[in-house]
Amino acid sequence: MKKFRTADEQEVGRNIERIFTACPDSVEIKLENFTKYVRRQHLKRFLALYEIFKLILPVKGSIVECGVFRGFGLMGWAKLSTMLEPEDLTRRIYGFDSFAGFPSASERAMRPFSASSPESWIFLETRTALTPCSSENRLPKNGRSLRAIT
Ligand SMILES: C[S@@+](CC[C@H](N)C(=O)[O-])C[C@H]1O[C@@H](n2cnc3c(N)ncnc32)[C@H](O)[C@@H]1O
């Protein structure tokens, strides 16, 4: 697979990992102080989600992320929603990822579309990787949490 990071960028990543690992604080304390370790571009990416979220605050509806990968965006939307609109219990956040691409258009066209069929609502890794994460992140105020659709 093509690497998009230069050798220097990869070295920065390794250095951050060394600093993170060498610090004697617990992981929880390290995460509380995440600005010490997180790279500027990842912080910037979260701020970009924040700016986008502010624009949709007055808009009713759900958020759908197509291609969640490890969940940065998905959990970002979920946390922004609970922080910025804690009283809104109607906003739903859906994440999709096939991790293997989808069947080709012609292959799909041969089968009738069903919104309830498992292949239409794919949460493969999200279910295994993010569900434990989301239950840790359940917010006490309104009890909203991510639920995987299977
Ligand atoms: C760049 S990553 C997404 C990063 C993620 N949004 C985040 O916030 O970190 C792209 C993801 O899209 C998924 N993907 C690519 N093509 C897809 C397709 N045709 N259907 C479903 N998922 C797809 C890949 O499996 C991959 O996990």
Burial of 113 (0-12, 13-18, 19+ CB in 10 A): exposed
Ligand 1 contact via 68 beta carbon (within 6 Å): yes
pLDDT at 130: 52
Report the C-alpha gap between 145 and 138 in whole angstroms: 5
Report the C-alpha gap between 13 and 39 in whole angstroms: 9
Residue 92 has pLDDT above 60, yes or no: yes
Residue from 68, 75, 80, 104 to probe ligand 1 pocket by mutation (most atoms less than 8 Å from CB): 68
**12-66 confidence digits (pLDDT tens):** 999 999 999 999 999 999 999 999 999 999 999 999 999 999 999 999 999 999 9
pLDDT at 103: 64
Ranges 28-32, 104-108, 111-115, 116-120, most confident: 28-32
Ligand 1 contact via 120 beta carbon (within 6 Å): no
Question: pLDDT category, 98, cuts 50, 70, 90?
Answer: confident
- Domain positions in the chain are 58-150
pLDDT at 19: 96
Phi then psi for residue 104, to 5 deg, are -65, 160
pLDDT at 24: 98
CA–centroid distance, 68 to ligand 1, in Å, is: 5
Q: Give the residue from 9, 67, 11, 83 showing the smallest Cα distance to 41.
A: 9
Residue 137 has pLDDT above 50, yes or no: no
**69-91 confidence digits (pLDDT tens):** 999 999 999 999 999 999 998 99
pLDDT at 75: 95
**Global confidence as pTM:** 0.74
